[in-house]
Amino acid sequence: MSGHHHHSHHGHSHHHLDMALALTALFAIVEFAGGWISNSLALLADAVHMSSDVVALGVAAFAGRLAMKPAHDGMTYGYGRARVLAAQANGVALWFLSGWIVWEAFGRLVEPPEVQGLIVIVVGFVGLAVNLVILKWLHGAHDINTRAAYWHVLGDTLGSVAAIVAGAVIFFTGWMPIDPILSFLVAGILAWGGWSLLRETTGELMAATPSDVDLLMLEKAMCGVKGVKETHHIHIWKMPDGGRALSAHVVVENLSHWDRTLAALQHSLREAGVEHATLQPESDSEGCSHHCCEPCNH
C-alpha cells in the first residue's frame, strides 16, 4: 500500500512538472519579445531566468522519471540520487543566472537606457499570473528536485513583481535607474536560493546527518530499550527515497534475547522517524566504553 502511494505521489509531481515546463517555455518567448521591444533589463533578466527554468524544469522532470527506475545489482540503492544531482545542478544555475543579472545591471546603472514602462507593466502582470499558477502546482513538494524547480519559479515570480514596479515607476516618473536597481534585488534572492540548494544537496550527497534529526535523542531512544547497555558507530543519513536510514552497533546484556531486543529497537526508531535500520548486536564482554547508556546497568 505504501509503495503504491509513493509512486502515485511522484507521478502527480511529474504531471505538475510537465505542465509547468510547457507553460514556462511558452511565456519565456512572450517575455523575451516584451523585454526586447520595451528595452527593459528587468523583463529581459526575467525572460532569461524563465529560459533557465525551462532547462531546470526539464532536468527536474527527467531526473524524477530516472529516479523511478528499479534498483538492480549494479545500483542497489536505485536511481533516487538523480533527484539530488538535478537539484544541485539547478542550484549552480541559479548562481550563474544571478551573476549575469548583476553584470548587466551594473552596465545599465552607468548608462540607463530608455525603457517603455507600459509594455513592462503589461508583460509583468501576465508573467506574474503565469508564475503564480506554476507555484501553486509545485507548492508542497517534499522531494528536493521539485523544490529546486520551485525556487527557480519563485525567482521568476519575484522578477515579475520587480518588472511591474519598475514599469510603474518609469511610466509615472520617468526614472530609469529603477529597472537595474530592482534587478539587483532579484539577483540577490536567486543567489540565496542557489546557496540553499547547494548546501542541502551537498549534505545529502555526503551522507550528512539530516538537519531535522537529533542524534542525541535517537541514542537516548535506543538506550531506553530493555536489554540495551551501549550504542556506538551510529550513522544516520537520508535515503534516495527521502526516508531516514541508520546503522549502529548495539551492546546488549544477553545475545540470546536479541530477536526481542531488535524488534523493540526497530519500533523505537520508527517512532523517531527512522524507516530503515541496520543494527549489529554485540555482547557485553568489555563493559561500557563508547556511548554508554545511563545508568550502565538496567
> pLDDT band at residue 281, thresholds of 50, 70 and 90?
very high
Reply yes or no on whether the pLDDT at 3 is more than 70.
Answer: no
> pLDDT band at residue 234, thresholds of 50, 70 and 90?
very high
Q: Summarize pLDDT for 61-85 with one digit per residue, the tens.
A: 788 788 788 888 888 888 888 888 8
* Residue whose C-alpha is closest to residue 146's, from 210, 228, 203, 90: 90
- 233 in Cβ contact with 249 (< 8 Å): yes
Q: Distance between CA 21 and CA 63 in Å, rounded?
A: 14
- CATH number listed for the domain at residues 2-205: 1.20.1510.10
Give the residue-averaged pLDDT of 141-153. 75
Question: What is the residue extent of each domain of the chain?
Answer: 2-205, 215-292
- CATH number listed for the domain at residues 215-292: 3.30.70.1350
Question: What are the CA-CA distances from residue 159 to residues 77, 156, 162, 187, 213 (Å)?
Answer: 39, 5, 5, 9, 35
